[in-house]
Amino acid sequence: MPQNTALAPTPPPNRPDGQRPRVVIVGCGFGGLEAAKALSKADVEIVVVDRTNHHLFQPLLYQVATAGLPAPAIAAPIRHVLRKQIAHGNLTVLMGEVTSIDTASNCIVLDGGEHLHYDELIIAAGATHSYFGNDQWAKYAPGLKTLGDAFTIRRRVLTAFEQAEREMDPAAREPWLTFAVVGAGPTGVEMAGTLAEISQHTLREEFRRIDSRRARVILIEGAPRVLGVYPEDLSERANEQLKDLGVEVLLGAKVTNITAFGVHFDTVENGVPTSHFLPSRTVVWGAGVAASPLGRSLAKSTGCELDRAGRVVVQPDLTVPGHPNIYVVGDLASAKSYQDPANPTPVPGISPGAKQMGRKAAFNIIRRRRGLETQAFRYFDYGSLATIGRRAAVAMIDLPFTKKQVKFSGFPAWLFWLFVHVYFLIGFRNRIVVMWDWAWAYFTSQRHARVFPDPHALEPNAMLVRVPPPSAVASPAGTAAAATKAATTSAPGSTNAA
Ligand SMILES: Cc1cc2nc3c(=O)[nH]c(=O)nc-3n(C[C@H](O)[C@H](O)[C@H](O)COP(=O)(O)OP(=O)(O)OC[C@H]3O[C@@H](n4cnc5c(N)ncnc54)[C@H](O)[C@@H]3O)c2cc1C
């Protein structure tokens, strides 16, 4: 049934003190930043609240996690990005965590307990990791969402090689040289590919006791193919490229537990369910995404519906039902595109979706304040890109003005991926830094962001654990099938933190 995609105009609420209406934007990621910029000429007072001091370009976060880029190359201070609007006098930036939303009194509540009034609210708080109810795995298998996550992964990866060099017992050394990545979505695939590159190229002449090229990178995926949201032929090509880079890909493997000593998973082989244990001291989580907890707070306050991932189900104009002054955009929104109003389609959780939603929310605020009806969101899909590693990527691009799509992979897709990501980076200086670092890395295989703070201070005992791994059969280097078979064991597991 065709839906009424435009909402009837409601008179803009007046502020009792006669001041300009206040638009509060929670989160300055892709959605929040676009909303703030799109409101720059509107006659409103804008307050941007973020729990960090920076806008983060998440698509290149794995480069920080794998020591390819320094953090400032992919993150910019929010104050600096929005300095012109701050100087203009209509925008304030506050660093703080929003803990709840009180829609009865039109206030957001900050971590210090302060209440901040809004006339219009845009919530763009993004997403976080989901461990599918197993939050205890988080300390052994960090996910990749924030700069803090990237620093943790970088430290653990580089520390694992250091620990392997120190370890005299070959059996105890193997788990330090085994890197497990759980989840073969875009993040897992790019992490696995780049870890393989580090071991094969970057570190190969820098150790005496170990050969870094013997390190194993194992990508564990529950589904039957990698990059499941891509068409099957591109998934297949991604799989081949991963193998060419030296990654062992385990498909149809369901992770059942993660400890300080490795990953337990189940497979079904010839119809027989089998349990396995993969000894590994470094596990990266790329499997699950959940919406920001602010979605739950909003649902508590407004009774709005949440989807299975905790995202707020929004109206066609991106507002919360019954609350025409509250918009939810980006990864926190379960939104539909009304390109074809009779057949709305879900908007994917990627940066173009968040940016376009942020702009639409700002646009609808301006329309509503002028007494005009708001408009339904229409998502413009330009295609998808996923990088796998050095000279390896897959691309699916919609050609403009036609209904045609082109698919390509390998070196051309990788070059295209480089160009797009540099183009969308914020700041002229960042683009130069990233282009220079990538060119240097391409020709020398070096990664220059390899320093990290004293690990003892950050994770006590990180370098000291000498507890033997649980009774498990260590899997030899080799094929994915060999890894599955050889790693099979009944699976105990101490939970001592490493
Ligand atoms: C590792 C990784 C790789 C990715 N690669 C790609 C890619 O290649 N291409 C692509 O298109 N998309 C990619 N994405 C997805 C893309 O980054 C997201 O879709 C996009 O960031 C969503 O934008 P957003 O504004 O909803 O949230 P975000 O960009 O995540 O911004 C949320 C902001 O809200 C702030 N915040 C959160 N909670 C609070 C709170 N309670 N109080 C105050 N502030 C808060 C955060 O600090 C953050 O600044 C990737 C994501 C990740 C994690």
Q: Which residue has the tokens 């638009």?
A: 23
Q: Which position among 34, 45, 167, 190 bears the catalytic label?
A: 190
Q: Between 251 and 7, name the one with better pLDDT.
A: 251
pLDDT over 90 (residue 490): no
- Whether 233 is in a domain gets the answer yes
- Do 201 and 254 lie in one domain? The reply is yes
The residue-averaged pLDDT of 94-121 equals: 96
Which of 25, 28, 30 for mutating ligand 1's site (highest number of atoms within 8 Å of CB)? 30
Which atom of ligand 1 is nearest the CA belonging to 332?
A: 26
Tokens of residue 327, six digits: 């918009």
- Do 441 and 366 lie in one domain? The reply is no
Sign, CA torsion 147/153/59/327: negative
Give ligand 1 pocket residues (Cβ under 6 A).
26-32, 49-52, 58-59, 61-62, 97-98, 124-126, 144-145, 186-187, 292, 294, 330-332, 349-352, 354
- Whether 66 is in a domain gets the answer no
Which of 351, 397, 417 for mutating ligand 1's site (highest number of atoms within 8 Å of CB)? 351
Query: Looking at ligand 1, which residue's alpha carbon is closest to its atom 35?
Result: 27
Report the C-alpha gap between 192 and 190 in whole angstroms. 6
Helix (H, G, I), strand (E, B) or coil at 418: helix
> Shortest CA distance to 260 belongs to which of 150, 381, 175, 385?
175
Ligand 1 centroid, distance to 419 Cα (angstroms): 21
- Whether 313 is in a domain gets the answer yes
- Do 409 and 338 lie in one domain? The reply is no
pLDDT over 80 (residue 482): no
Residue 428 — very low, low, confident or very high, per pLDDT cuts 50/70/90? confident
Calculate helix-pair angle for 232-245, 186-197, nearest 10 degrees: 20
Percentage of the chain modeled with pLDDT above 90: 77
- Do 112 and 29 lie in one domain? The reply is yes
Which of 58, 146, 331 for mutating ligand 1's site (highest number of atoms within 8 Å of CB)? 58
- Do 159 and 243 lie in one domain? The reply is yes
Ligand 1 centroid, distance to 162 Cα (angstroms): 32
Query: Looking at ligand 1, which residue's alpha carbon is closest to its atom 12?
Result: 350
Contact 482, 216 (CB under 8 A): no
- Whether 320 is in a domain gets the answer yes
pLDDT tens readout for residues 312-329: 999 999 999 999 999 999
Query: Looking at ligand 1, which residue's alpha carbon is closest to its atom 9?
Result: 59
- Do 145 and 254 lie in one domain? The reply is yes
Amino acid 345: pLDDT: 96
Residue type, 292: S
What does R_g of the chain's alpha carbons equal in angstroms?
24
pTM over 0.95: no
| Structural domain boundaries, residue 444 | 135-287+386-482
pLDDT tens readout for residues 345-365: 999 999 999 999 999 999 999
Provide the b/e sequence for 124-159 (b: ≥16 CB within 10 Å).
Answer: bbbbbbbbeeeeebeebbbbbbbbebbbbbbbbbbb
- Whether 76 is in a domain gets the answer no
Contact 328, 317 (CB under 8 A): no
- Whether 78 is in a domain gets the answer no
- Do 271 and 400 lie in one domain? The reply is yes
Query: Looking at ligand 1, which residue's alpha carbon is closest to its atom 17?
Result: 58
- Do 148 and 268 lie in one domain? The reply is yes
- Whether 498 is in a domain gets the answer no
Ligand 1 centroid, distance to 286 Cα (angstroms): 14
Residue type, 331: D
Tokens of residue 86, six digits: 């701050």
Q: Between 223 and 16, name the one with better pLDDT.
A: 223
Query: Residue 24 maps to which CATH number?
Result: 3.50.50.60
Ligand 1 centroid, distance to 387 Cα (angstroms): 18
- Do 142 and 251 lie in one domain? The reply is yes
Active site residue 190: yes
Helix (H, G, I), strand (E, B) or coil at 220: strand
